Structure 1
């Protein structure tokens, strides 16, 4: 009976998490925004204050919305030079992880992936490791890690780890 109840609970949670069309239903405020119509004020009203505002060369701006440290998503919301909502992207995904290369700076990595979930310094290795929690597939939780040389601040490698279950 205990196993049946666990299975039933998991099934119900799955139904609540996924809509009929298979898309994840989550209320981050994005559903309230209209491309080409919503203003920056609308974005802030729907999503709150951004963690970071990135200024683009053409006067446009990108607002960073990390949903961590426990969440699995970071949204970058693009505004044109007039402050009108143009697009958004969830950046914690394989395509973006693949762009992180040795020699990149902390700022370059932050610009691509947003605020890390945690930053840990390993003094004996002269290393600093940033991580981001993400989902691989619909339910497999993983951490994408970027390793930096502490002195130069340059990426030395990346890795993926599974969460520790206790």
Structure 2
């Protein structure tokens, strides 16, 4: 049996459904979701926990905690809307902050590129990959692409 998110879609990562915005504490988040892959410290003193479910998973959760350690919100980052926010010139940190840890990375010396990939669902069931191409020297985004895992 699957839990559902606030949009009525099945949640494939059990744990998030056990949390309540404005009520759950940092300890509750860690108990339900485990240790975060990354903790982002915000200028305000709040923190964001990153929970990537790749490379085989299709979700990355960002869980926002306020300065007192209460969960304020959570969001799934691997969405068409977030991918559209990736722009040429962004740094690796900018992209990681927006999308979370990539499922895989590859280096292409002849193109002088490093490519990060995320597996995600476009629509309810269409599996796709989103790729961000970085210039290896500057560490900045030079282009983005996507592919179908079956068609390439």
Q: TM-score range by the shorter chain?
A: over 0.9
C-alpha distance after superposition, 1:109-160 (max 9, x if no partner): 0000000000100001100000000001111100000000001000000000
Larger radius of gyration: 1
Instruction: Compute the RMSD of aligned alpha carbons.
Output: 1.7
TM-score with structure 2 length normalisation? 0.92
After superposition, what is the alpha-carbon deviation per residue over 1:46-81, rounded to whole angstroms, capped at 9, x for unaligned?
A: 000100000111000000000111010000000001
Residues 7-156 of structure 1 aligned to structure 2 (within 5 Å): 23-156=9-142
Distance of 2:97 and 2:11 partners within structure 1: 26
Write out the 4+ residue segments of structure 1 that deviate beyond 3 Å after TM superposition: 16-19
TM-score, reference length from structure 1: 0.85
Per-residue deviation, 1:17: 6.2
Structure 1 CA distance, aligned partners of 2:14 and 2:143?
Answer: 32
Q: Secondary structure at the match of 1:43?
A: helix
The CA distance in 2 between the partners of 1:122 and 1:116, in whole Å, is 17
Contact 2:3 2:14 in 1 (8 A): no
Once residues 83 and 120 of structure 1 are traced to their aligned partners in structure 2, the CA distance between those partners, rounded to angstroms, is: 36
